[in-house]
Structure 1
């Protein structure tokens, strides 16, 4: 029997199944960090014009997500990178990240920045291996000992 295919495509995050996926992401982050160090954005922000929310599915089931929102001309912030626990360890995060970068390039975005927590070594390793470099806080972020800020130029 053939291996089930993974699809990654933009979707509306307000769908009930995707709200549940986002709730799982929230619970995961809330278990790792205090409220003041969690920089979660809500579903309406993820569905706003200019935002992109990608979902990875296998056999119709949502396994993970990643998003970006525009924060300045040609500059986007990555948000909501999440893979369900049972789907981790198979390269799905890398596939989501690459899919998001491809969408950003097609939209003319030159740089993606992100904030992640220091208690997520797998995510940090993925970002660094994918060319993201440490940077100072950007946008409205303030320095936080539990946060790491990273950025990547998509065009040379």
Structure 2
């Protein structure tokens, strides 16, 4: 059974999952890890969703304010052992619902071009590729997405 909770970045299960995510990204990002890592602070994320599978933390995601209309999805991760169980989709959907409740109309995010699974995941969840924004402008290994969520 999958259970979702809304919390913030002070949650110890979120921090546990983010450590696993960072270890994975250090490998996939290679020499660019430090560049990307500077934009992934979890010090003050107020909108975090954690998924529990059979009572164990199995996936997470968060968002932060980007502008008056959009939130930026951050720190999406599912443990290797719990992939292919729709956990990431459940987390992302919950983040989108929460952002919608707060009157945001879209979610944006960045992922690396080397993260093929993430790219397919976001496309499958109706995210559209957009021009790289903010700190990712001109970064060849970044791919940015957006999804309209206003219902």
SS of residue paired to 2:43 = helix
Instruction: List aligned pairs for 1:95-110, cutoff 5 A.
Output: 95-110=90-105
**Separation in structure 1 between the aligned mates of residue 39 and residue 83 of structure 2, nearest angstrom:** 21
Contact 1:26 1:40 in 2 (8 A): no
Instruction: List aligned pairs for 1:69-148, cutoff 5 A.
Output: 69-148=64-143
Contact 2:59 2:79 in 1 (8 A): yes
Instruction: List aligned pairs for 1:36-75, cutoff 5 A.
Output: 36-38=35-37, 40-46=39-45, 51-75=46-70
TM-score (norm 2): 0.89
Aligned residues between the structures? 148
- The alpha-carbon deviation at position 14 of structure 1 amounts to 2.2
TM-score (norm 1): 0.86
Contact 2:100 2:149 in 1 (8 A): yes
- The alpha-carbon deviation at position 62 of structure 1 amounts to 0.7
Q: 1:135 to 1:39 in 2, by over 3 A?
A: farther
Contact 1:75 1:111 in 2 (8 A): yes
**Separation in structure 1 between the aligned mates of residue 51 and residue 12 of structure 2, nearest angstrom:** 15
**Separation in structure 2 between the aligned mates of residue 60 and residue 40 of structure 1, nearest angstrom:** 30
Structure 1 unmatched runs, 5+: none
Between 6-15 and 21-30, the greater mean CA deviation after superposition: 6-15
Q: Would you tell me which structure has more helix in proportion to its own residues?
A: 2
